[in-house]
């Protein structure tokens, strides 16, 4: 699990390098297309991964009933959906090079989603170690391939890059970048299919229309949930490109990418908690204990990283050699705003996982819909004039709305305690550490001193406030 959390941010180094080489305008176009694919590819999954994972967690025999037909459905959509996305891109006004990128990104993303479908089955059988290995492989293969090109063939690569820059054709690098993504996801897709066959036997390609229909109907709430979360996470980038400029989108994406790299931490752990919550439905005491454990596991690392985003982000942007100082300053400011949103996620992400795993998906969807609506409306109003700053603050506000919605559902729908005593101590740690860093910012300390102060202050306050009085034995039960 530690390797899983560590390897994925390494991809940010490569992404930042490409961003710096091609420039904020070209990368902004690429980022907008990725966001469009992320929004539309929800129709590839339709919530099936979550629903089937939950069903198999409850009864492992459901695997043989559901998996073959769902696999046929997945592969069929894998072929059709990139062409649908291409058509939508054309209707939105994209053309030429953008449409080529869009089509290739759609293929890469759908292969990635198919790999997640296989991994959901591993999670359903609670083979979390194997799932973590698969998750690491998904990025490690890509890192090794690009490292081999840039290091093992550094002379050729530098000559080629110099030629692209001289010809003002650095966007060609994006073509290669996307092709490597397609190849990597294809390799992982084949590898995970082989793992599933090895664990559960050869998969017969058969299609049971009745079973698939039942699964799709049952997974619709999860599909709506996935769509809403996708809109919440990606629509701002697309709106920024459509309503403002590709250059502003590139700067915003520079900050969002680091924010998303931090979110890898909860994204890696939450499937494990989702499966455990699903397996203990009806046992409120165990669920309450697991919520407490999950909150502690999520909060401490996320508050430290969130405060780093706000008060000491300088070393995170060292790879932007070719960007103007003002551009780097803008990205640091945007990351600071997103850091506030990141901390709020540390408070609330376990609540959302519990509610979704425990049958409150429809209730969560209504609350997320309110958050998404506020996000879209505010972005529509303020992005044309304020650009990326508006997108960042709107993201932070929608996160707060979602956190309050989770508290409401936890107390009044699930009839569970939100443990306000624990949340209050978490707020004290965040407030005191943030206040200290605010006053220290006048001294212009070296970034490493700021990082040490943030980490040690959070750790000491957690000990003083009794965060570790109870052992974290629940995860081992």
Q: What is the pLDDT of residues 156-212, one digit of tens each?
A: 445 555 554 544 455 667 887 788 888 888 888 888 888 877 876 676 666 666 766
Burial environment of residue 466 by CB neighbours within 10 A (0 to 12, 13 to 18, 19 or more): exposed
**CA angle, residues 102, 103, 105, in degrees to nearest 5:** 65
In the three-class reduction of DSSP (H, G, I as helix; E, B as strand; rest coil), residue 272 is classed as helix
pLDDT category at 60 given cuts 50, 70, 90 is low
**CA angle, residues 155, 156, 158, in degrees to nearest 5:** 65
User: In whole angstroms, how far apart are CA 205 and each of 64, 101, 409?
Assistant: 12, 32, 41
Calpha distance 375→34 (Å, rounded): 19
Q: Looking at the predicted structure, is the pLDDT value of residue 43 above 60? A: yes
Q: Looking at the predicted structure, is the pLDDT value of residue 473 above 50? A: no
**CB atoms closer than 10 angstroms to residue 417:** 14
Residue with tokens 């062409």: 83
Percent with pLDDT over 70 in the chain: 76
Name, in order, each residue with C-beta under 8 angstroms of 303's C-beta and a sequence gap of 6 or more. 343, 346, 426, 429, 430, 433, 458
Calpha distance 401→41 (Å, rounded): 26
Calpha distance 152→305 (Å, rounded): 33
Residue with tokens 């202050």: 457
Condensed to tens digits (0 to 9), the pLDDT of residues 6-29 reads 665 666 777 777 788 778 888 899
**CB atoms closer than 10 angstroms to residue 136:** 18
Calpha distance 163→158 (Å, rounded): 8
Q: Which residues of 189-206 are buried (b: 16+ CB within 10 A; e: fewer)?
A: bebbeebbeeeeeeeeee
Q: Looking at the predicted structure, is the pLDDT value of residue 336 above 70? A: yes
In the three-class reduction of DSSP (H, G, I as helix; E, B as strand; rest coil), residue 182 is classed as helix
* CA-derived radius of gyration, the chain: 22
Calpha distance 315→472 (Å, rounded): 33
> Does pTM top 0.85 for this prediction?
no
In the three-class reduction of DSSP (H, G, I as helix; E, B as strand; rest coil), residue 419 is classed as coil
- Supply the mean pLDDT for the chain: 81
pLDDT category at 474 given cuts 50, 70, 90 is very low
Q: Looking at the predicted structure, is the pLDDT value of residue 301 above 90? A: yes
Calpha distance 116→38 (Å, rounded): 14
Q: Residue 357: what pLDDT?
A: 84
Length, in residues, of the chain = 477
Q: Looking at the predicted structure, is the pLDDT value of residue 59 above 90? A: no
Q: Using an 8 Å Cβ cutoff, are 391 and 241 in contact? A: no
Task: Look at residues 254, 194, 218 and name the one whose alpha carbon lies nearest to residue 391.
Answer: 254
Condensed to tens digits (0 to 9), the pLDDT of residues 407-432 reads 999 988 888 887 888 899 999 999 99
Q: Looking at the predicted structure, is the pLDDT value of residue 229 above 90? A: no
Q: Residue 50: what pLDDT?
A: 62
In the three-class reduction of DSSP (H, G, I as helix; E, B as strand; rest coil), residue 318 is classed as coil
Percent with pLDDT over 90 in the chain: 34
Q: Looking at the predicted structure, is the pLDDT value of residue 299 above 50? A: yes
Averaged pLDDT for residues 38-60 = 66
More confident residue, 468 or 439: 439
Calpha distance 56→66 (Å, rounded): 9
Q: Residue 418: what pLDDT?
A: 79
pLDDT category at 126 given cuts 50, 70, 90 is low
Q: What are the structure tokens assigned to 174, written together?
A: 């994006």
Calpha distance 9→277 (Å, rounded): 27
Averaged pLDDT for residues 94-106 = 91
Q: Using an 8 Å Cβ cutoff, are 171 and 27 in contact? A: no
pLDDT category at 475 given cuts 50, 70, 90 is very low
Calpha distance 43→473 (Å, rounded): 39
Condensed to tens digits (0 to 9), the pLDDT of residues 244-293 reads 989 999 999 999 989 988 988 888 788 778 878 887 877 788 888 888 88
Q: Looking at the predicted structure, is the pLDDT value of residue 472 above 50? A: no
More confident residue, 452 or 412: 452
Q: Looking at the predicted structure, is the pLDDT value of residue 227 above 60? A: yes
Q: Residue 232: what pLDDT?
A: 79
pLDDT category at 3 given cuts 50, 70, 90 is low
């Amino acid at each position: 699990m530690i390797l899983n959390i560590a390897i994925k941010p390494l991809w940010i180094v490569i992404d930042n390098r490409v961003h710096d080489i091609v420039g904020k305008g070209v990368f902004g176009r690429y980022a907008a297309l990725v966001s469009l694919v992320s929004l539309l590819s929800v129709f590839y999954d339709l919530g099936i991964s979550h629903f089937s994972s939950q069903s198999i967690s409850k009864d492992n025999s459901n695997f043989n009933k559901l998996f073959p037909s769902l696999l046929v459905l997945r592969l069929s959509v894998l072929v059709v959906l990139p062409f649908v996305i291409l058509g939508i891109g054309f209707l939105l006004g994209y053309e030429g090079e953008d449409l080529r990128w869009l089509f290739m990104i759609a293929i890469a993303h759908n292969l990635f989603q198919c790999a997640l479908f296989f991994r959901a089955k591993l999670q359903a059988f609670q083979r979390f170690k194997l799932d973590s290995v698969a998750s690491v492989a998904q990025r490690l293969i890509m890192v090794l391939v690009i490292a081999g090109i840039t290091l093992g063939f550094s002379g050729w690569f530098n000559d080629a890059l110099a030629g692209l820059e001289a010809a003002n054709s650095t966007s060609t690098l994006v073509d290669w970048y996307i092709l490597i993504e397609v190849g990597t996801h294809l390799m992982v897709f084949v590898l995970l299919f082989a793992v599933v066959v090895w664990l559960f036997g050869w998969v017969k390609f058969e299609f049971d229309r009745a079973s698939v229909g039942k699964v799709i109907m049952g997974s619709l709430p999860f599909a709506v949930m996935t769509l809403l979360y996708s809109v919440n996470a990606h629509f701002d980038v697309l709106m920024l490109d459509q309503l403002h400029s590709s250059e502003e989108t590139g700067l915003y994406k520079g900050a969002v990418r680091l924010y998303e790299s931090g979110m890898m931490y909860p994204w890696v752990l939450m499937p494990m908690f989702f499966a455990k919550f699903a397996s203990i439905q009806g046992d409120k005491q165990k669920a309450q204990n697991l919520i407490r454990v999950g909150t502690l596991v999520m909060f401490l690392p996320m508050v430290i990283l969130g405060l780093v985003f706000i008060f000491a982000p300088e070393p995170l942007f060292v790879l932007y050699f070719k960007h103007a100082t003002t551009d780097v300053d803008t990205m640091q400011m945007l990351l600071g705003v997103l850091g506030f949103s990141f901390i709020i996620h540390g408070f609330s992400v376990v609540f959302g996982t519990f509610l979704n795993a425990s049958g409150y998906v429809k209730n969560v969807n209504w609350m997320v819909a309110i958050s998404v609506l506020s996000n879209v409306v505010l972005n529509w109003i303020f992005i044309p004039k304020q650009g990326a700053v508006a997108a960042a603050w709107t993201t932070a506000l929608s996160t707060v709305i979602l956190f309050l919605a989770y508290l409401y559902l936890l107390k009044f729908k699930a009839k569970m305690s939100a443990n306000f005593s624990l949340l209050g101590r978490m707020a004290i740690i965040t407030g005191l550490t943030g206040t200290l860093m605010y006053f220290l910012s006048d001294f212009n300390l070296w970034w490493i001193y700021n990082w040490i102060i943030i980490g040690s202050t959070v750790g000491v306050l957690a000990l003083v406030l009794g965060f570790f009085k109870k052992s974290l034995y629940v995860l081992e039960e």
